[in-house]
Amino acid sequence: MSTKKWFGLALVVLALLALPLVLTSVGTAWVRITNLAILFVFLALGLNIVVGMAGLLDLGYIAFFAVGAYVYALLASPHFGLHLPFWIILPLGALFAGMAGAILGAPTLRLRGDYLAIVTLGFGEIVRIFMNNLSQPFNITNGPKGITLIDGLNVAGMNFTATHTLFGIPFTGPAKYYYVLLILLTLVIVVNLRLQKSRIGRAWVAIREDELAAKAAGINTRNMKLLAFAMGASFGGTAGGMFAAMQGFVSPESFILHESILVLAMVVLGGMGNVWGVLAGAMLLSFVPEFLRYTVEPVQQMLFGKLLVDPEVLRMLIFGGALVLTMRFRPAGLWPESRHKLEMNEEK
């Protein structure tokens, strides 16, 4: 990399590090929104492995998020009286979610496209309904009431729920989570990029492009598909664990079909298969609705002097319209995978 590139990178890192401090001055809510957006980027990048690289349409992806969240919740809350440290639970959540991914993958190996979508959709619902009903005969998930009082992160004796002051700068709880998420996100991006440019990533793309030819070219498509499901799911599980820690509360309501579709929309809108496109798509779909939430009402007040349309309705209308327009004019996504260009850049 040239000095100029290093300089650019340093600027980006500095900006990212300073972001929560700036946002805190606007309102802590925005830090929380940013954190949630990063979680969605996390999810979208996990789903990108399954849908974008391996071409397996998964409509129940949020189930793995749920598995990760519940693993965290059950092992670090008064519900079972367990309070394991996060560095055990987060990997455990990823592991469980990965296993759930393989369990979903196994019976669907022969399915593609629409058929696979239907089965994965059903799987997502099954997981949610399980969470909803596993309060009897033994109370495991506490049913629709969910699990409360989940431990937050606790790094080196620093509790993440309280505000700490370092060098005279107050760091709120959400701001600290932001830094943890930023580290995790960097890891996920690196993993995604490296997998993409490996023999595993190529095998996934080959399966997406032509499964029969991939088989004939010597790829064990069964194992590769299971691996894609498990990898994608373990990302979802990690995100779920962080979600549980940040919110301090999980219930089945957070893991509805709508969320699966939202994550899928992020992947498709950004550009399937392209890590940076997916990142942009997830950011956009996380922030735009929040932005509209804060602007729709004041703008109406300003223009008409009164509230004509309910903000929530208008917000979804604008949001949906934007999605339709994007798909109409940029069907491959805002930032599509351009393998050709990637290859050229690699030659320097």
> Given the rule CB under 8 A, which residues bind another protein?
190-191, 194-195, 197-203, 205-206, 209-210, 212-221, 227, 231, 337, 339-340, 343-344, 347
Query: Is the CB of 156 or the CB of 216 nearer to another protein?
Result: 216
**Cβ 176 to another protein, closest distance in Å?**
27
**Cβ 149 to another protein, closest distance in Å?**
35
Q: How far apart are CA 238 and CA 244, in angstroms?
A: 10
Q: How far apart are CA 337 and CA 291, in angstroms?
A: 27
Query: Is the CB of 114 or the CB of 347 nearer to another protein?
Result: 347
β-strand pairing of 164-166 with 154-155: unpaired
Query: Is the CB of 197 or the CB of 330 nearer to another protein?
Result: 197
In degrees and rounded to multiples of 5, residue 85 shows phi and psi of -70, 155
User: Is residue 62 within 8 Å of 204, Cβ to Cβ?
Assistant: no
Query: Is the CB of 201 or the CB of 252 nearer to another protein?
Result: 201
Residue written as token pair 């300073």: 18
Per residue, what are the HEC states of 232-257? HHHHHHHHHHHHHHHHCCECHHHHCH
**Cβ 202 to another protein, closest distance in Å?**
5
For every residue of 153-195, DSSP letters joined together read -EETTEETTS-EEETTEEE-HHHHHHHHHHHHHHHHHHHHHHH
For CA atoms 70, 76, 78, 83, give the dihedral sign: positive
Query: Is the CB of 52 or the CB of 152 nearer to another protein?
Result: 52
**Cβ 197 to another protein, closest distance in Å?**
8
**Burial class, 22, CB count within 10 angstroms (exposed 0-12 / middle 13-18 / buried 19+):** exposed
The total of other beta-carbon atoms located within 10 Å of residue 166's CB is: 8
**Cβ 235 to another protein, closest distance in Å?**
12
First-to-last alpha carbon distance for the chain, in angstroms, is: 10
**Cβ 332 to another protein, closest distance in Å?**
10
**Cβ 229 to another protein, closest distance in Å?**
13
Q: How far apart are CA 244 and CA 43, in angstroms?
A: 14
**Cβ 127 to another protein, closest distance in Å?**
24
Query: Is the CB of 227 or the CB of 268 nearer to another protein?
Result: 227
Query: Is the CB of 231 or the CB of 250 nearer to another protein?
Result: 231
- Nearest in space to 250 (alpha carbons), one of 150, 130, 160, 133: 150
Query: Is the CB of 210 or the CB of 312 nearer to another protein?
Result: 210
In degrees and rounded to multiples of 5, residue 229 shows phi and psi of -60, -45
